[in-house]
Amino acid sequence: MTKPKVLIIGAGFTGVATAHDLALRGCDVTVVERGDICNGTSGRTHGLLHSGGRYAVKDKESAIECIDENTILRKIVPQVIEPNGGLFIAIDEGDLAYADQFIASCEECHISLHELTPQKALQLEPNINPNVLRALIIPDGTFDPLRLALAFAATARHNGAQFCMYTEVEGLLMDGKGSVIGLKTLDRASNSRHELYADVVVNATGAWAGQITGMAGLDAPVKPTPGIMVAYDQRFVQRAVNRLNVPGDGDIVLPQRRMVVVGTTSFDAENPDYIPVTEDQIKIMLDRGSDLIPAIRNAKPRGIYMATRPLVGGGSGRSIARTFKCYDHKESHGIDGFVTITGGKATTLRAMAEKTADMVCSKLGVSTPCVTKETLLLSYRQYYTNPN
């Protein structure tokens, strides 16, 4: 029997996780990506495996998604995660005033939390601000972004998915009834143009999703929302250190390999390909980062980079919810064969893929259930050692 054919545009977290899910459900999957794995936002993410604590007060839907998926990812892909925990610290009266609301909200969202004395917090993390007034531990973690994506891609490939890298989508192929039936692509390695056909096309291009829906004459379902990160050349802390307050700029310091990375900002942008790194944003990272870890003030910057969140919903910057949305363009615009998934976070990649694959399978009449919650992922190395 021929398998139903699905083309996925984009090999970021969302595209590779969706390829993994659909390959397990028996679809013939091809991922089409204009660069390589993690060419877009996923390759420049901060790397916080969110417990949801950061969103618990204002965005409970995202907080619960995060704690649920954090627990699942620790089981299915432990090889790319440092389960090191997150420390929320209060260093002024404003932080102290926020603490009780934070604790109550974490409890409501089932995010486990325990309090340390300031002395104990300083014993665990001697480089945090010595004026710490209150310290709470929650189950944050850190992940290696490239390896996380590669582990999903390796497993998808093992189950038959194909990966067409350096292949840019230039247009959608439509039939006479206005349904999407494939893609017009440019192979950037050979500089040749091709047509690829499928039963369903999935637009998993993150902050670029509006450019792809634009090819079908549809409005952007996504708001590109960039942020800066600055890496410093010493691993000052072993846990993710967060400011115990309303989420703001530069209020998370994350250990990554032998560095710490301070992030981030959140503002609106038009074009995700051209996001300038500005001096004022670098200064915010330095000032706010050194409020949490004073030694950052004299540390050597190792890298400064921007990435663009693909957010959905109303508002702007930090007021936009961090949840995700999946669109069947037949329901919203009468265009069949075309699905867009956008929004969300790295931490929720598996759940985003499940929702998308459910939608694709229902369009294709495939009834195989999702098994990604229980499927252990292969080593990220196998993406390269086991090509199909």
Ligand X SMILES: Cc1cc2nc3c(=O)[nH]c(=O)nc-3n(C[C@H](O)[C@H](O)[C@H](O)COP(=O)(O)OP(=O)(O)OC[C@H]3O[C@@H](n4cnc5c(N)ncnc54)[C@H](O)[C@@H]3O)c2cc1C
Which residue ranges make up the site for ligand X (CB under 6 A)? Answer: 9-15, 32-35, 39-42, 45-48, 50, 168-169, 204-208, 226-227, 229, 263-264, 307-310, 344-347
> Would you state the torsion angle of the CA atoms of residues 357, 362, 365, 369, taken in this order, to the nearest 10 degrees?
50
Rounded to the nearest whole angstrom, what is the least distance from the CB of residue 33 to ligand X in the complex?
Answer: 5
Rounded to the nearest whole angstrom, what is the least distance from the CB of residue 251 to ligand X in the complex?
Answer: 12
Nearer to ligand X, 27 or 32 (CB): 32
Contact, 44 vs 13, CB < 8 A? no
Rounded to the nearest whole angstrom, what is the least distance from the CB of residue 352 to ligand X in the complex?
Answer: 8
Nearer to ligand X, 39 or 234 (CB): 39
Nearer to ligand X, 161 or 346 (CB): 346
Task: HSE, CB side, 13 Å, CA atoms: give it for residue 145.
Answer: 20
Nearer to ligand X, 118 or 263 (CB): 263
Which tokens hold the place of 26? 């028996």
Nearer to ligand X, 14 or 213 (CB): 14
Q: Let me know how long the chain is.
A: 388
Rounded to the nearest whole angstrom, what is the least distance from the CB of residue 317 to ligand X in the complex?
Answer: 12
Nearer to ligand X, 9 or 81 (CB): 9
Nearer to ligand X, 163 or 208 (CB): 208
Cα angle for residues 192, 196, 200 (degrees, 5° grid) = 150
Rounded to the nearest whole angstrom, what is the least distance from the CB of residue 234 to ligand X in the complex?
Answer: 20
Nearer to ligand X, 47 or 221 (CB): 47
Rounded to the nearest whole angstrom, what is the least distance from the CB of residue 109 to ligand X in the complex?
Answer: 16
What residues are paired with 89 via a beta bridge?
135, 243
Rounded to the nearest whole angstrom, what is the least distance from the CB of residue 361 to ligand X in the complex?
Answer: 20
Rounded to the nearest whole angstrom, what is the least distance from the CB of residue 308 to ligand X in the complex?
Answer: 5
Nearer to ligand X, 69 or 328 (CB): 69
Rounded to the nearest whole angstrom, what is the least distance from the CB of residue 179 to ligand X in the complex?
Answer: 20
Nearer to ligand X, 32 or 180 (CB): 32
Rounded to the nearest whole angstrom, what is the least distance from the CB of residue 341 to ligand X in the complex?
Answer: 7
Output the 3-class SS for the chain: CCCCEEEEECCCHHHHHHHHHHHHCCCEEEEECCCCCCCCHHHHCCCEECCCHHHCCCCHHHHHHHHHHHHHHHHHCHHHEECCCEEEEECCHHHHHHHHHHHHHHHHCCCCCEEECHHHHHHHCCCCCCCCCEEEEECCEEECHHHHHHHHHHHHHHCCCEEECCEEEEEEEECCCCCEEEEEEEECCCCEEEEEECCEEEECCHHHHHHHHHCCCCCCCCEEEEEEEEEECCCCCCCEEEECCCCCCCCEEEEECCEEEEECCCCCCCCCCCCCCCHHHHHHHHHHHHHHCHHHHHCCEEEEEEEEEEECCCCCHHHCCCCEEEEEHHHHHCCCCEEEEEECCHHHHHHHHHHHHHHHHHHHCCCCCCCCCCCCCCCCCHHHHCCC
